[in-house]
Structures are given as structure tokens and as C-alpha cells.
């Protein structure tokens, strides 16, 4: 079974961005609780350089990783950026000094985040920004989105996407403007409900179905971590067949499941990054996919 090796973000716009269908998520790079400098700074910089050397040209970040740590590392490792690199950041959340996760989605908050991302990444326009919906927000969803689209008209953002959205929020946004991509939890084991970091995980299969209907790229998060704790599932069986690791088969499943999926596995380890990159070479059969279900 083959799969499409690239994906185009904003395919129906004047600024289509085509990237390899395997990105990298930077959230594992900072210290514990996604805060502070990496435990091994050299390895973190080497991971980012390796992504570039290995043809990965989609990076997921946020200024609330760190605070600002992943953006600074990206700039240090990769600036001046290659022309085909797409950096995707997220706004809608922030961090307290106590490392807590807060809601930051009022129009003025979003603007401050975008300015901060532009400054820390040292760029004049961010190619893709996901508005990250935070459960418990009191800001009307439309108000936040209007602010995003306004910053897009101003040229600070090239493409607007959504993250952690419900099916209803995604449908509502599609009536307001173009949704370049969606970043929700999705994965072999994450199609059903689960929790991680005590956070409410939303959307899942229903959101994926709306993306398929509307041809919207899906950038899944948390695709690996809960699957890797399960030692007895069908993934492990297929991994043995291909002499691969369960992480690789989870990624291969995503790549074969649907051509709209752009996986962004996160890792703080160079050997895991290299392993994940090799998953791109695995071709599962129709029978494997049917067996995995």
C-alpha cells in the first residue's frame, strides 16, 4: 500500500505550502513540565538540525513551550530558515511562573502572542498558526477567531488553523473563513476518549471525519505516548512482522490511514527522532491495515 509523501497546507489559497508528510513536534524539548531549558541542550539543538538534514520541513511549536524555549531553540538551530521550512505555532494559552497552563485567548492576548512568536522566531510572518481552544474559556469563540483572521489580513499570519476543537467549533469556523489545518488528538489508540496530563481531550474521530469531508490537513498530537504503554495490542504484532518498533508502526498507521494526516511525533531523544523518521519507509499492506482496524 502506498501513501502520499507530501501534503499541501492552504491548497485552495494563493499561498499553498507543500511539506513532507512527517513533521516534528517540539514540545518534548524543554525541561520537565514543558518548562525551562532542555536537560540536554546540545541534543535538543542536534534534534532540530537533524530534522532539517533529514528533509523534515514542518515544525510544531508554541511560545508557551518553555516559556519561549522551543522558539529560541528553533531560531538558534535553524535560522536563517530554509525556504521550504514551515513553522507552525499555536496561540490561545499561556503559562504562569508556577508552570501552570492558562487561557490566553482574548483578541489582545492573541495579538501579544503573535507578536511574541514573530520576535522569538525572528520572522515577519508565521506561515501557520493554530488557535488552540482551551476548555473553560469565557471569551466567545467567534471573537478569538475574528482576531486571528484580522491578523491574517494584516499579513502577520499566512494561514489560520485550529487546535483542540470540537466538531461544532470546526463546523462554525468553516462558515467564517478558511481553515488551513486542524491540530487535534488523533492516533491509533486515540480515536476513542482518553486523558493525558489531566487535560480534557476533545474531538477525535468526529473531527477527523469533518477534515476528510472538507479536505483539511490534520496534524495529530499525542499520537504516540499513550499507545506506547500498551504492550499487548495489534500494533506490537505488526511491529514484530516488520522488525520495527511500536512507535514506528503507530506512525506508519497514521501515514496509511489517510493522506490528510501530517504526523508530528515529539521526542527529546535523537535516537527516537531517527527511528521515527525511518517509519516513513515502512509500507503496510491492505491486510495489515485491515488487521489493525
Ligand X SMILES: NC(=O)c1ccc[n+]([C@@H]2O[C@H](COP(=O)([O-])OP(=O)(O)OC[C@H]3O[C@@H](n4cnc5c(N)ncnc54)[C@H](OP(=O)(O)O)[C@@H]3O)[C@@H](O)[C@H]2O)c1
Sole binder of ligand X in the list 9, 17, 44, 60 (CB under 6 A): 60
- Report helix, strand and coil shares of the chain as percent, to nearest 5: 40, 15, 45
Sole binder of ligand X in the list 228, 241, 285, 291 (CB under 6 A): 228
Please provide the distance, in angstroms rounded to a whole number, between the alpha carbons at the two ends of the chain.
15
The C-alpha atoms of residue 28 and residue 37 are separated, in whole angstroms, by: 11
Q: Rule CB under 6 A: is residue 23 a binding residue for ligand X?
A: no
Cell of 221: 498530537
Closer to ligand X at the Cβ: 133 or 155? 133
State in angstroms the smallest separation of the CB of 9 from ligand X.
15
Q: Is 151 helix (H, G, I), strand (E, B) or coil?
A: helix
State in angstroms the smallest separation of the CB of 176 from ligand X.
20
State in angstroms the smallest separation of the CB of 63 from ligand X.
12
Closer to ligand X at the Cβ: 40 or 258? 40
Q: Rule CB under 6 A: is residue 92 a binding residue for ligand X?
A: no
Task: Using alpha carbons, select from 24, 11, 99 the residue that is nearest to residue 56.
Answer: 24
Closer to ligand X at the Cβ: 154 or 258? 258
Closer to ligand X at the Cβ: 24 or 256? 24
Cβ neighbours, 10 Å, residue 270? 16
- Cis bond upstream, residue 269 (ω within 30): no
What does the buried/exposed string (b/e) look like for 118-132 if buried means 16 or more CB atoms within 10 Å of the residue's CB?
bebbebeebbbbbbb
Near ligand X in 251-280, by CB under 6 A = 264-269, 272, 275-276
188 is catalytic: no
State in angstroms the smallest separation of the CB of 163 from ligand X.
4
Sole binder of ligand X in the list 132, 156, 159, 256 (CB under 6 A): 132
Alpha helix positions (H), the chain: 41-53, 69-78, 107-121, 141-153, 167-174, 205-214, 234-242, 246-257, 270-278, 286-292
Q: Rule CB under 6 A: is residue 164 a binding residue for ligand X?
A: yes
Judged by the rule CB under 6 A, the positions of this chain that interact with ligand X are 25-28, 60, 90, 132, 163-164, 183, 221-225, 228, 245, 247, 264-269, 272, 275-276
Indicate which residues carry an active-site annotation. 65
Amino acid at each position: 500500500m502506498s501513501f502520499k509523501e507530501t501534503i499541501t497546507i492552504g491548497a485552495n489559497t494563493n499561498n499553498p505550502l507543500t511539506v513532507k508528510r512527517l513533521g516534528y513536534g517540539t514540545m518534548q524539548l524543554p525541561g520537565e513540565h514543558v518548562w525551562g531549558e532542555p536537560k540536554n541542550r546540545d541534543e535538543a539543538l542536534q534534534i532540530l538540525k537533524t530534522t532539517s538534514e533529514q528533509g523534515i520541513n514542518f515544525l510544531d511549536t508554541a511560545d508557551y513551550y518553555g516559556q519561549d524555549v522551543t522558539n529560541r531553540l528553533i531560531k538558534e538551530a535553524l535560522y536563517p530558515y530554509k525556504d521550504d521550512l514551515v513553522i507552525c505555532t499555536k496561540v490561545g494559552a499561556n503559562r504562569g511562573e508556577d508552570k501552570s497552563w492558562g487561557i490566553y485567548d482574548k483578541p489582545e492576548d492573541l495579538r501579544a502572542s503573535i507578536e511574541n512568536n514573530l520576535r522569538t522566531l525572528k520572522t515577519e510572518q508565521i506561515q501557520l498558526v493554530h488557535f488552540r481552544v482551551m476548555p473553560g474559556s469565557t471569551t466567545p469563540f467567534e471573537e478569538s477567531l475574528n482576531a486571528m483572521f484580522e491578523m491574517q489580513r494584516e499579513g502577520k499570519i499566512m494561514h489560520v488553523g485550529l487546535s483542540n476543537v470540537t466538531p461544532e467549533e470546526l463546523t462554525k469556523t468553516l462558515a467564517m473563513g478558511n481553515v488551513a489545518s486542524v491540530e487535534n488528538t488523533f492516533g491509533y489508540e486515540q480515536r476513542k476518549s482518553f486523558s493525558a496530563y489531566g487535560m480534557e481531550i476533545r474531538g477525535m474521530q468526529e473531527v477527523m471525519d469533518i477534515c476528510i469531508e472538507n479536505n483539511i490537513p490534520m496534524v495529530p498530537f499525542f499520537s504516540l505516548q499513550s499507545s506506547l504503554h500498551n504492550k499487548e495490542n495489534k500494533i506490537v504484532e505488526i511491529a514484530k512482522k516488520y522488525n520495527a518498533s511500536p512507535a514506528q508502526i503507530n506512525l506508519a498507521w497514521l501515514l496509511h490511514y489517510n493522506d490528510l494526516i501530517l504526523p508530528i511525533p515529539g521526542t527529546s531523544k535523537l535516537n527516537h527522532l531517527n527511528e521515527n523518521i525511518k517509519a516513513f519507509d515502512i509500507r503496510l499492506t491492505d491486510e495489515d491495515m485491515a488487521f489493525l482496524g
